[in-house]
């Protein structure tokens, strides 16, 4: 926002085909120091729908078999922010140009948009281990995309099993603050022809380990 550059206004208009955050992810995973937390404040919500799903990644990891835990603990995930393969050869800005009213911008010069993080992350405050996966993960370090894809697909499906998730129903004035180090989230796009306006702040994080 012009007067508040730390606040991102997230707007979905009735004519938009897609929404912002409409896939399972954890914020800024492509950064070397991903966002620790995200604060989202509802300014205008649709008459129905527009909820956000959250998934507990502590439980996602803890429910894996011992063998899968060992395998995942040995892997590092390569995470992309600006990934033309994901967008059919287009930049993120080009891909969303005719699908969403918000104006996506190209990354600032010098901003790192590809990072490598452990697939199993240790929370620096609780000491618990969490599965650290989301839509930014494209392959594993020292592995090809073809080799990586079956395991990524399995873990993505596993990571948001119903028993790990909750659904937040927004009202005007609702505020949510979540920990990106142990959760994923998904903004549901189920309110055609209506407007949803949110204000978002991301909180600086640290290097995953």
139 is an active site residue: no
What pLDDT digit, counting tens, does each position of 27-83 carry? Answer: 999 999 999 999 999 999 999 999 999 999 999 999 999 999 999 999 999 999 875
Q: Active-site residue 136, yes or no?
A: no
The residue-averaged pLDDT of 11-20 equals 94
Does the pLDDT value for residue 145 go beyond 80? yes
27 catalytic per annotation: yes
> What span, in angstroms and rounded, lies between the C-alpha atoms of 56 and 120?
13
Q: Which of 16, 25, 136, 139 is catalytic?
A: 25
Tell me what pLDDT residue 82 has: 73
Catalytic residue of the set 92, 117, 185, 196: 185
The alpha carbons of the chain give a radius of gyration, in whole angstroms, of: 17
Residue 84: what pLDDT? 55
Cα distance between residue 96 and residue 1, in whole Å: 19
DSSP assignment of 51-111: -EEEEEHHHHHHTS-HHHHHHHHT-EEEEESS-TTTTTTS-HHHHHTTT-SS---PPPTT-
Residue 111 has what pLDDT?
82
Domains of the chain (ranges, CATH numbers): 8-203 (3.60.130.10)
Is 16 among the residues known to form the active site? no
H-helix or E-strand spanning residue 195:
none
pLDDT in tens, 103-121: 666 666 778 899 999 999 9
């Amino acid at each position: 926002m012009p007067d508040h550059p730390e606040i991102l206004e997230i707007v979905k208009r009735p004519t938009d085909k897609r929404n912002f955050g409409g896939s399972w992810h954890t914020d800024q995973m492509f950064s070397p120091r991903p966002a620790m937390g995200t604060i989202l404040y509802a300014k205008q919500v649709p008459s129905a729908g527009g909820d956000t799903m959250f998934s507990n990644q502590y439980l996602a990891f803890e429910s894996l078999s011992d063998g899968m835990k060992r395998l995942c603990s040995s892997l590092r995930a390569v995470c992309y922010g600006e990934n033309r393969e994901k967008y059919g050869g287009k930049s993120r800005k080009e891909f969303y140009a005719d699908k969403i009213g918000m104006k996506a911008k190209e990354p600032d010069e010098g901003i790192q948009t590809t990072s490598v993080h452990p697939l199993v992350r240790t929370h620096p405050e609780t000491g618990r281990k969490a599965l650290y996966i989301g839509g930014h993960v494209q392959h594993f370090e020292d592995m090809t995309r073809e080799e990586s894809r079956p395991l990524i697909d399995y873990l993505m499906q596993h990571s948001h099993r119903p028993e790990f998730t909750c659904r937040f129903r927004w009202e005007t004035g609702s505020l949510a603050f979540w920990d990106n180090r142990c959760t994923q989230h998904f903004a549901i796009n189920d309110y055609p022809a209506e407007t949803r306006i949110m204000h978002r702040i991301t909180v600086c994080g640290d290097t995953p380990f």
